[in-house]
């Protein structure tokens, strides 16, 4: 509980209407998409300026109040959960366009800007912001940066990190840091900007970001292929990537497709079935090469994959609408599984090691957890696998989660063996911090704690996330 004096001081900073104390508001702002923890913040603040954020951090430091930065709360690792009486700092009001520079092709935005709004703004300027994923309609730029969000275009455009030209942040000591200032070249010592990208609010509160934009892509075509087995997906990737400029290469299992068709009512891509499916996207115009020539080349590659026995069937989009419908088969998987309360793993290994890694995981689950149904999908072109374990009806939620903890530990051991990551793009938060040692050495962990102490000496920013 906040004292009357602290409440009065907080009201003096943000105004009475921007300090939320009602139970419904505490519940709404105190949790993300994870459901393992009960939200229990002491209050929610809605600052309207960087100066107000700075004042909040300084006050929190004086009174030893823990702060949890909050964006769109679409995370899947508990990074925005406030379960221990923390003060939530929600960035919703910092959602403006601060500056746009058409020469530099950069836009500076408040951290609370919705990702889709940034994409729309860029398009109106004849430009493009390429970081794209399922929650762009509700996620915020600050949260994207804090988790280094990835998504479906990473194979061509990279992660959020690639598009952050500058940051304004408030660290745990209450200092406003203006990092990199939109420069393309800046080798004047350490680039502190990159420490904050992916830091999950543990080093500072991201308030503004200068985002690099790029040219609008040409119209794209989408191909969905039914693939013989998982190793064959890698053969298909090698075949198509050698000849086409791919903007996406995704995969999903037959189980994933079945759930999407059942839950969302989408049409199957073709009549037959396959163990796995690959979804490819590529631009249909490139310089002087015509749309028809690129499409013809794609069909030639498809026929070659069929002859090799890698591909069983496939379809190539013939219109923008058909391309969008094919994408829905992949993009709607997560939502189609949500009501089943899956135990999710967001993991990555090097692309070349994926077939052997996936086979070992499937063998592990088959031998030790035969009642568990596994649903695979992910961004195969960049080595990111989403492993979803569905709860058997015979187990209670608590029994299921207890068993899945063992699964995660054993998968962590496999990830250590394959030099992979326990978090490819969702962050660590509360959910994965007990497994971080599978991806980081003791020396790295010590360095991360030292960095935390340097930027957050009072340990008030998102405590308990990443590590204790």
CATH of the domain at 366: 3.30.70.2740
Structural domains in the chain (count)? 4
* DSSP-assigned letter for residue 421: B
The CATH number that applies at residue 249 is 3.30.70.2190
Identify whether 391 is part of a domain: yes
- pLDDT attached to residue 288: 47
Q: Which two tokens stand for residue 461?
A: 């920013």
Identify whether 466 is part of a domain: no
Residues 430 and 369 in one domain: yes
Q: Which residues of 9-30 are buried (b: 16+ CB within 10 A; e: fewer)?
A: bbeebbeeebbbeeeebbebbb
- pLDDT attached to residue 45: 98
Q: Which two tokens stand for residue 320?
A: 């923008």
Identify whether 395 is part of a domain: yes
H or E element at residue 60: helix 50-63
- Enumerate helices (H) and strands (E) in the chain, giving the number of each: 15, 18
pTM (2 decimals)?
A: 0.93
What's the pLDDT tens digit per position in 162-194? 999 999 999 999 999 999 999 999 999 999 999
Q: Taking the CB of residue 424, how many other CB atoms lie within 10 A of it? A: 23
* Side-chain half-sphere exposure of 163, counting CA atoms within 13 A: 33
| Among candidate residues 94, 89, 23, the one with its CA nearest the CA of residue 59 | 89
For residue 435, what are the CA distances in angstroms to 169, 398, 467? 28, 20, 10
Identify whether 372 is part of a domain: yes
Residues 187 and 280 in one domain: no
Q: Which two tokens stand for residue 61?
A: 């430091």
Structural domain of 115: 97-215
Based on the number of CB atoms within 10 Å of its own CB, is 370 exposed (0-12), middle (13-18) or buried (19 or more)?
exposed
Cα–Cα distance for residue pair 286/289, rounded to 1 Å: 5
> Is residue 283 a contact partner of residue 347, using CB atoms and an 8 Å limit?
no
Q: Which two tokens stand for residue 6?
A: 């602290």
Last residue of a domain, one of 192, 215, 238: 215
Residues 121 and 210 in one domain: yes
Residues 102 and 173 in one domain: yes
- pLDDT attached to residue 286: 58
Based on the number of CB atoms within 10 Å of its own CB, is 285 exposed (0-12), middle (13-18) or buried (19 or more)?
middle
| Among candidate residues 159, 163, 145, the one with its CA nearest the CA of residue 201 | 145
Q: Which two tokens stand for residue 311?
A: 């591909």
Strands 246-253 and 276-283: antiparallel
Q: Which two tokens stand for residue 82?
A: 């406030």
- pLDDT attached to residue 219: 87
The CATH number that applies at residue 40 is 3.30.43.10
Residues 306 and 401 in one domain: no
Identify whether 460 is part of a domain: no
- Residue 183 region, left (φ>0) first, then alpha (ψ -120 to 50), else beta? beta
Identify whether 465 is part of a domain: no
Cα–Cα distance for residue pair 378/248, rounded to 1 Å: 11
Residues 75 and 25 in one domain: yes
Tens of pLDDT along the chain (468 residues)? 899 999 999 999 999 999 999 999 999 999 999 888 999 999 999 999 999 999 999 999 999 999 999 999 999 999 999 999 999 999 999 999 999 999 999 999 999 999 999 999 999 999 999 999 989 999 999 999 999 999 999 999 999 999 999 999 999 999 999 999 999 999 999 999 999 999 999 999 999 999 999 999 988 999 999 999 999 999 999 999 999 999 999 999 999 999 999 999 999 999 999 999 999 999 987 554 556 788 899 999 999 999 999 999 999 999 999 999 999 999 999 989 988 888 888 999 999 998 899 889 888 888 877 888 889 999 989 999 998 989 888 888 888 888 888 888 999 999 999 999 999 999 999 999 999 999 999 999 999 999 999 999 999 999 999 998
Last residue of a domain, one of 36, 70, 92: 92
Identify whether 463 is part of a domain: no
Residues 151 and 183 in one domain: yes
Residues 43 and 23 in one domain: yes
Identify whether 189 is part of a domain: yes
Last residue of a domain, one of 59, 92, 125: 92
What's the pLDDT tens digit per position in 79-122? 999 999 999 999 999 999 999 999 999 999 999 999 999 999 99
The CATH number that applies at residue 135 is 3.30.465.10
Sheet holding 311-316, edge to edge: 311-316, 220-227, 276-283, 246-253, 373-379, 384-390, 343-348
Cα–Cα distance for residue pair 227/225, rounded to 1 Å: 6
CA angle 101, 106, 109 (to 5 degrees): 100
| Among candidate residues 383, 351, 387, the one with its CA nearest the CA of residue 369 | 387
Q: Could you tell me where the beta strands, DSSP code E, fall in 289-348? A: 311-316, 343-348
Residues 116 and 185 in one domain: yes
Residues 309 and 375 in one domain: no
* DSSP-assigned letter for residue 436: G
Question: Which residues are 209's β-sheet partners?
Answer: 109, 167
For residue 253, what are the CA distances in angstroms to 62, 64, 186, 329? 52, 48, 44, 11
Cα–Cα distance for residue pair 444/440, rounded to 1 Å: 6
Residues 149 and 168 in one domain: yes
| Among candidate residues 30, 146, 145, 51, the one with its CA nearest the CA of residue 94 | 51
Residues 114 and 132 in one domain: yes
């Amino acid at each position: 509980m906040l004292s009357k004096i602290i409440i009065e001081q907080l009201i003096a900073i943000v105004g009475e209407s921007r300090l939320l104390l009602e139970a419904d508001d505490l519940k709404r702002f105190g949790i993300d998409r994870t459901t393992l923890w009960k939200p229990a913040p002491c209050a929610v603040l809605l600052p309207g300026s960087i100066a107000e954020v700075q004042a909040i951090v300084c006050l929190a430091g004086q009174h030893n109040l823990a702060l949890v930065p909050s964006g769109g709360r679409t995370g899947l690792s508990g990074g925005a959960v406030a379960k221990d009486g923390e003060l939530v700092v929600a960035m919703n009001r910092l959602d403006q366009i601060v500056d746009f520079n058409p020469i530099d092709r950069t836009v500076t935005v408040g951290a609370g800007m919705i990702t889709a709004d940034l994409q729309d703004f860029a398009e109106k300027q004849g430009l493009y912001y390429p970081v794209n994923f399922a929650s762009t309609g509700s996620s915020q730029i600050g949260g994207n940066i804090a988790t280094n969000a990835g998504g479906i275009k990473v194979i061509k455009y990279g992660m959020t990190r690639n598009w952050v030209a500058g940051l304004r942040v408030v660290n745990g000591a209450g200092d406003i840091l203006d990092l990199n200032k939109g420069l393309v070249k800046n080798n004047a010592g350490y680039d502190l900007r990159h420490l904050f990208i992916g830091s999950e609010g543990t080093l500072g509160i991201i308030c503004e970001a200068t985002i690099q934009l790029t040219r609008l892509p040409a119209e794209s075509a989408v191909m969905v292929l039914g693939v013989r087995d998982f190793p064959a997906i890698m053969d298909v990737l090698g075949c198509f990537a050698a000849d086409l400029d791919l903007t996406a290469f995704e995969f999903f299992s037959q189980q994933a497709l079945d759930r999407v068709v059942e839950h969302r009512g989408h049409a199957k891509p073709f009549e037959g079935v396959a163990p796995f499916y690959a979804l490819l996207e590529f631009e249909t115009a490139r310089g002087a090469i015509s749309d028809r020539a690129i499409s013809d080349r794609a069909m030639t590659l498809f026929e070659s994959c069929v002859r090799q026995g890698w591909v069983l069937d496939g379809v190539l989009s013939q219109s923008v609408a058909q391309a969008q419908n094919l994408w829905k088969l992949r993009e709607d998987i997560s939502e189609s599984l949500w009501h089943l309360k899956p135990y999710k793993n967001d993991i990555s290994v090097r692309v070349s090691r994926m077939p052997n890694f996936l086979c070992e995981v499937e063998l592990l689950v088959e031998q030790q957890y035969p009642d568990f149904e596994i649903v695979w999908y992910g961004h195969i072109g960049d080595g990111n696998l989403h492993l979803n374990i569905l709860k058997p009806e015979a187990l209670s939620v608590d029994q299921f989660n207890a068993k899945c903890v063992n699964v995660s530990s054993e998968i962590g051991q496999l990830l250590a063996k394959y030099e992979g990551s326990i978090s490819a793009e969702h962050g660590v938060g509360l959910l994965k911090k007990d497994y971080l040692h599978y991806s980081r050495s003791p020396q790295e962990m010590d360095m991360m704690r030292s960095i935390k102490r340097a930027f957050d000496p009072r340990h008030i920013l998102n405590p308990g996330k990443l590590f204790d």
